Structure 1
């Protein structure tokens, strides 16, 4: 996981808040002061909170969890999509549909419809229907792709949610709180931090700032995946006992079960005794024949 420094935050403009007249008093502990009627965020408080949030994402993914990236405002759409794809996580970068999580059963039907249309488009089914019908189905697929394309491979409800602008994504936060999903959110000076489990005080409007947040979150997710891969590789390694001379000690064979050995012995003995019994019968028959001839 790449550690973000205070210098990087300064260069990205994370410390710039909103105009002082739009401030939210609940953000007062994270405000350093004001300059030119604009609040300045205290990065000395932002940096440790940011690190805690990234560590949480990493540990969540390492335990097999899924983090949903949410950023539907225009300045965040591209960064959210690119970095979520980079770390293999679901994302929503267009309008948040009401009930996307709380009514997930219905949303899954729309996702199934999207996948069916993608299959039809790929196997040439559109070529066997009229141009008008093909155009209508293509438009339907594009509309569903915009809304649900980022979550079509999501396996159920996510384990956490990373939000770029908590003021812009109020519906998503409400659904997450209703389902008990932890929320990691970037909170600017004009927003409230209520309902946010991991607060990141910072600029949520500048493209460079948003890119910094999302790239760090994607790196944290990849770090979590990498730790899982290392753990699996370590558990798969075989430990071989080595003698003092340097040669590997041969593996001990397991002793056969006693009952099975008895059965085998009895069978072999039976097979062995068979020809002897036949020979004895033949000798008896010969003696009887000699006695009769006398």
Structure 2
């Protein structure tokens, strides 16, 4: 996620060139043909002519140089004998090893898919990352909203520039809010209705086990929820986001409740395994709404404000920052900027959900330990009660035996 750049490898160029030249001399696949139509072989008109046998003799007469091929793989070459497949592979591998050290290498560069498949976590937010995504670019100065004055850093070529420090601070705050709502098991809805935002919105909703809206926000989804969503099935989940299934007894009770509403024939009622309660409960409102384009979803923001549902939104320089609860001043037109912000929020929600799972597992372990301690104390108490009862019975038997002996002695003395 950093701009692409090429960094040269630090090595001695002369040594590398000499090694590469030696490998070329040792390779048999170098062409030895001369250009067609040449009368004098000593002065070729075509490409460079290399006599392999002469180069081998020249290399043998020179001083020995460090070989690139491992000593265990080198074999003596008989003049006139063709190379085997293994020798050709070894020499090709040596030439590749020498040529790999010439040139440059690519460091970390921008990969568009990683903002969706592997977004950065809130603690990995840097100013360089925001700058590379273009989150600081605002709208033209003629379109600005005066409420965004505290977010603006300056003006360049007729557009406002948003401060990167402000973007990072507000993004971290919004990530903490998403983390807290997800950790407490709240319902989060991601709303992004512009072109190109669908995949990022869906992936963020999957990470938080929440919901998403990518087409159009239907007016009245929150204010008139019972009329729009009353026929939908109500799912009941546990603390681990697992759907709770109904037992046969619960199904029978549900059929009786449905029959009490007006349907008298209980046997014809179809009840699914999941909870379906059209009576008394109605649709559920979300606990947090994340909006990526507030300008196109003003109706949704008004409905959330009417029922005091907190909202998070990307606020550009032409948007009123008071329309959402937690604004994130950034560029809402850049797809890379939007993917970065929604990816960070989705990763924060995922971390909160996993923290809830860990807390639930710890709570279950603590309950299990308490149950074991309770059973152990109960067992010890029962053992103590049994021992006390045995002692009591033994003492009673001993007292009875002594009483009988005294009666016998008294009877004997009376006689």
Q: So what's the TM-score if we normalise by structure 1?
A: 0.66
One of 127, 140, 145 as aligned partner of 1:6: 127
Q: Which has the higher contact order (CA 8 A, sep 6+)?
A: 1
Give the structure with the higher percent helix. Answer: 1
For 1:21 and 1:236, the matched residues in 2 are separated by: 59
Asked if residue 236 in structure 1 is aligned to residue 357 in structure 2, the reply is no
Deviation at 1:111, TM superposition (A): 4.0
One of 218, 226, 231 as aligned partner of 2:354: 226
For 1:85 and 1:63, the matched residues in 2 are separated by: 17
| Contact 2:288 2:309 survives alignment (8 Å) | yes
Q: So what's the TM-score if we normalise by structure 2?
A: 0.48
Corresponding residue of 1:169: 297
Equivalences for residues 144-155 of structure 1 within 5 A: none
One of 161, 182, 185 as aligned partner of 1:64: 185
Structure 2 alignment gaps of length 5 or more: 1-120, 234-282, 370-374, 393-415
Structure 1 alignment gaps of length 5 or more: 113-154, 241-249, 266-294
| Contact 2:122 2:172 survives alignment (8 Å) | no
Corresponding residue of 1:190: 318
| Contact 2:182 2:208 survives alignment (8 Å) | no
Deviation at 1:82, TM superposition (A): 2.6
For 1:72 and 1:36, the matched residues in 2 are separated by: 30
Corresponding residue of 1:255: 381
CA RMSD, 1 decimal? 2.6
One of 91, 94, 98 as aligned partner of 2:215: 94
Asked if residue 200 in structure 1 is aligned to residue 328 in structure 2, the reply is yes
| Contact 1:65 1:159 survives alignment (8 Å) | yes
SS at match of 1:75: coil
CA deviations 1:235-281 (Å, max 9, x no partner) are 233597xxxxxxxxx944242498xx99xx9xxxxxxxxxxxxxxxx
Corresponding residue of 2:151: 30
| Contact 1:75 1:206 survives alignment (8 Å) | no
For 1:193 and 1:39, the matched residues in 2 are separated by: 15
Corresponding residue of 1:74: 195
SS at match of 2:381: coil
One of 28, 34, 41 as aligned partner of 2:162: 41
| Contact 1:69 1:91 survives alignment (8 Å) | yes
CA deviations 1:120-173 (Å, max 9, x no partner) are xxxxxxxxxxxxxxxxxxxxxxxxxxxxxxxxxxx7110011111222211110
Deviation at 1:73, TM superposition (A): 1.4
CA deviations 1:82-111 (Å, max 9, x no partner) are 321233211111111110111111221464
Deviation at 1:197, TM superposition (A): 1.2
Q: Which 4+ runs in 1 deviate beyond 4 A? A: none
* Rg (Cα) greater in structure: 2
SS at match of 1:237: helix
CA deviations 1:173-215 (Å, max 9, x no partner) are 0000011100111100000011321110000011101100111
For 1:237 and 1:111, the matched residues in 2 are separated by: 36
Aligned length: 212
For 2:338 and 2:147, the matched residues in 1 are separated by: 22
Corresponding residue of 2:106: none
SS at match of 1:101: coil
Residues 185 and 171 from structure 1, CA distance in 2 versus in 1: closer, same or farther, beyond 3 angstroms? Answer: same
SS at match of 1:167: helix
